[in-house]
Amino acid sequence: MQFYSTKNANLKASGTEAIVRGLAPDGGLYLPSEFRAFPMEKLSRLTGEEISVKVLASLFEEFDEKELSECVRAAYSENFENGDISPLVPVGDAWSMELFHGPTCAFKDVALCLLPHLLTRSMKKCGIKDEVCILTATSGDTGSAALFGFSDVKGTKIIVFYPDGGVSPMQRKQMVTCPGKNTSVTAVKGNFDDAQTGVKAIFAAPPEVSGVRFSSANSINIGRLAPQIAYYFKAYHDLMNEGKIRLGDKVNFVVPTGNFGDILAGYFAKKMGLPVGKLVCASNENRVLTDFFETGVYDRRREFRLTSSPSMDILISSNLERLISMTVGTEKCGELMNQLKETGVYTLEDKALKQLKQEFSAGYADDKETRKTIRETFEKFGYLMDPHTAVAHAVYNKWKKSAEGNDLPTVILSTASPYKFTKAVLEALGQVPTADEYENLVKLSDLTKTAIPAALSRLADAEVKHPDGIAVSEMQEFVKIRAGK
Ligand SMILES: *Cc1c(COP(=O)(O)O)cnc(C)c1O
């Protein structure tokens, strides 16, 4: 199986090369040249681990199933509470797929616990003896999950940039207390897009550091995306085994979306044969994707808003490039991405938009609706959720009643623990949070009779290891120094 650049079908790489490089040499993102059919008739009898292995094996044929089992086991067996990566919980007439039972309490753990194992093995298979240095811009959850995943993994370093003021206090604390000797973390003065653009510029012209090669842990890495495909199959597996659906029935997925990675994994699952109804793209007030799916115009020239769902505060959804490339071809995709870079806007032709609308719906919820949804869902169903997940529930409630809505069984992806965003959740429940995040944890737990995840309660006494912030213009120098250490 080959992978090719979103901007050039002739620029090919093997799976292991694609994982090692992150981005293609022309700055495009890697796409698999085909989607092999998943053995759906076996799905109900597979374990979660076997589902992950089968999905990965169909994409990365340089690995055999035994090796992939080792990777999956190393990634998940100890890191996830209860061993189930993606439990389904009924909420009203839908199901919440909880992806936040990993070490940093957000869904990015699922991919980022696995990526270091895929990456270090891929490097060996490619004959690379250099160390790999992971560079990541984060709007919060990627940073902590990547740091945790790579922390003290032999042959790796990791450098994380987060937007100053653009992450929750708890996310910040998780990152700046990361003890790994191979980890560097710093705030950047700017928003997520500034930080991400800075990282892209470094990849385009990396500093010379001998014995080190740079790679990405952002959701643009195909090794990040692949593990996420598996939980769509797992949700379907669970619904079948609970007797809620029969093999072949269609299921909708509603996905709280920022960089478009998670929902794209759902689209890949569909391409591999999962019976998916609609994929509903849920955005917050940074509704650039809602507008795009409505009009075909992707226009980033708008005010950037900080919301209560910071991991979705994004105006350039990098992974959308993959969907565009799959829809209009690599050449046209290259043109459109160039327009986006130069003018901040591009327009998809009507025919392509129509095609996308058969697969995707889109909607958004503002902070007020998000708070209301958190409160009402807790009051009605006793189900507590974080603001990212609540955006998806709010969008689902509206979508269901809209002309585009349908009555198929629906799974809503739940991407973070409510305890990771305690302040916003307490406010939504009509409480007044204090300035102390740890008091808020206890307050939320007392109020809702739910348990504080251990991964968060232990942060209270953790020592700060990464204190400073830098300007965007200093990022290059920061990388040179830290990667060379
Ligand atoms: C990253 C993140 C998202 C958005 O996922 P994308 O793959 O970037 O679309 C949603 N919710 C949470 C909690 C996240 O951390």
Nearest to 204 by CA among 135, 143, 301: 135
Low-confidence ranges of the chain (pLDDT < 50): none
- Would you state the pLDDT for residue 388? 98
Kindly give the residue spans of alpha helices, DSSP state H, lying in 255-366.
Answer: 261-271, 288-295, 320-328, 330-343, 350-359
CA 254–ligand 1 middle distance (angstroms): 12
The response to whether residue 261 sits with its C-beta less than 6 Å from ligand 1 reads yes
pTM: 0.92
Q: What is the pLDDT of residue 21?
A: 85
DSSP 190: S
Alpha helix positions (H), 329-460: 330-343, 350-359, 367-381, 387-401, 422-428, 437-448, 454-457
Q: What is the pLDDT of residues 344-363, one digit of tens each?
A: 999 999 999 999 999 999 99
**Residues 310 and 168: beta-carbon distance below 8 Å:** yes
Q: Is 108 a known active-site residue? A: yes
Q: How far apart are CA 260 and CA 335, in angstroms?
A: 20
Q: How many residues does the chain have?
A: 485
Whether 321 contacts 337, CB under 8 Å: yes
Which of 54, 108, 173, 270 is labelled catalytic? Answer: 108
pLDDT value of residue 460 = 83
DSSP 3-state of 446: helix
3-state secondary structure of 288: helix
Look-up: residue for tokens 């708008």? 302
Give CA–CA dist 391/199, Å, rounded.
28
Contacts of 300-308 spanning 24+ positions with Cβ under 8 A: 300/340, 300/344, 300/345, 301/344, 301/345, 304/191, 304/193, 306/165, 306/166, 306/191, 307/366, 307/367, 307/370, 307/387, 308/284, 308/367, 308/370, 308/371, 308/387, 308/421, 308/424
For CA atoms 67, 273, 43, 149, the dihedral sign is positive
Instruction: Look at residue 165 in the predicted model and tell me its pLDDT.
Output: 83
pLDDT tens-digit series, residues 141-181? 788 899 988 988 888 899 999 999 888 778 888 899 988 89
Query: Closest ligand 1 atom to the C-alpha of 256?
Result: 10
Question: Which ligand 1 atom sits nearest the alpha carbon of residue 389?
Answer: 11
The reply to whether ligand 1 has any atom less than 6 angstroms from the CB of 388 is yes
The per-type count for the chain, helices as H runs and strands as E runs, is 20, 16
The torsion angles phi and psi of 444, rounded to 5 degrees, stand at: -65, -40
Q: Which atom of ligand 1 is nearest to the CA of 228?
A: 7
**Own/partner pairs, 235-239, CB within 8 angstroms, 24+ separation:** 235/86, 235/88, 235/95, 235/97, 235/411, 236/43, 236/274, 236/275, 237/43, 237/44, 237/46, 237/48, 237/51, 238/88, 239/88, 239/95, 239/409, 239/411
CB proximity list for 136: less than 8 A, separation 6 or greater: 142, 143, 146, 158, 159, 160, 161, 199, 216, 217, 218
Of 100, 167, 259, the residue with max ligand 1 atoms within 8 A of its CB, to mutate for a pocket test, comes to 259
For residue 311 and ligand 1, the question of a CB distance below 6 A is answered with yes
Token output for 99: 């992806």
Taking 3-state DSSP, the helix, strand and coil percentages for the chain, each rounded to the nearest 5, stand at 50, 20, 35
Q: Provide the pLDDT for residue 315.
A: 93
Looking at residue 101, the DSSP 8-state letter turns out to be: -
Task: Give residue 142's pLDDT.
Answer: 80
